[in-house]
Amino acid sequence: MEASDSRGGGEGAPGKADPSRDRAQLARAGALYVVATPLGNLRDVTLRAVDVLRSVDRIAAEDTRVTAKLLAHLGIATRPFAVHAHNEAARASEIVAALDRGESVAIVTDAGTPGVSDPGARIVRAARDAGHPVVPVPGPSAVAAAVSVAGLAAARFAFVGFLPTQAKARRALLETLAPLPMALVLYEAPHRVRATAADLAAALGPDRDLVVARELTKAFETVVRVRLGDAADWFAGDANRERGELVLVVDASAETSRDEGITADAAAWLDALLRELPPSRAARIVAERTGASRDALYARALDRAGGERG
């Protein structure tokens, strides 16, 4: 894994905060900074993000009008220039040229972390390919915020981003996602969210839970858990539910969550032992031999034994 360090040094010791860095962090020449900005609540901006935005030579923004408001709030006079999905490739060479001249550049999006279903990835690749340091300035992320309040049964999740808008491509992607033993996190536009909920139910099954995280950190923040099969009707029940920024989190199925971590070999051993032993003893033996979760094995054993406890 590559290590980036705003001081220009090598890899540091992981796992502990560095007390010497508890002071203003000024941008350095020739570095690209990937800066996370608030999802809505301006109090979520980090101190380091403010330091960097105040000290860089140039600020690349997805929408200059949105970023200008944030910069004005922070008392930063630098005028942002536009980098969005339609001009990112062309802007990448311009930004690399600025870095070559020794200028420092920050890239921000309208909200959250650049490069996560937002512009930024092409510019990061171009800067790295040109030999310039790329420094993450972490902070708000709609993905992390939504997962943190979802109360997932699944131990893992996959970030899907926006589904394809074309029906055929959307169905094909959902077919590949359906068997995954994990939760799925998606972004969706308000005008498509009801149809997306119906598509998810058709592809993943109606009994999985859906967490709708809407307008995170904003005045009308809403986090609701509904059955996936009921989600389209839930959206239809109130027009306000289809407004604003939306993150959809589909939990893994109850069976998938229960069986997670049980390998095919462990399952086969368990099934064989259940012919001779009570569920608790069979689960304990297989857990000791395979390292699989005893609780997960025991839950599976109870199912196989018809719920009879040993």
Q: Write the Ramachandran bin of 269: left for phi over 0, alpha for psi from -120 to 50, otherwise beta.
A: alpha
The CATH classification of domain 143-256, taken from the options 3.30.950.10, 3.40.50.300, 3.40.50.150, 3.40.50.620: 3.30.950.10
Cα distance between residue 96 and residue 289, in whole Å: 55
The CATH classification of domain 23-140, taken from the options 3.40.640.10, 3.40.1010.10, 3.40.50.300, 3.40.50.2300: 3.40.1010.10
Predicted TM-score of the model (pTM): 0.77
Q: What is the mean pLDDT of each run of 10 residues along the chain (310 residues)?
A: 39 60 86 98 96 98 96 97 92 97 97 93 96 98 97 91 93 91 94 95 95 97 96 95 96 68 80 89 89 80 61
Degrees (nearest 5) of the Cα angle 122, 124, 127? Answer: 110
Predicted pLDDT at 180: 86
- Taking the CA atoms of residue 274, residue 280, residue 283 and residue 286 in that order, the dihedral angle to the nearest 10 degrees is -90
Q: Listing from the earlier edge strand, what are the strands of the sheet with 157-162?
A: 157-162, 183-188, 246-250, 209-214, 222-227
Predicted pLDDT at 247: 98
Predicted pLDDT at 116: 92
Where do the domains of the chain lie? 23-140, 143-256, 261-304
Predicted pLDDT at 103: 98
Neighbours of 127 (CB within 10 A): 23
Neighbours of 117 (CB within 10 A): 17
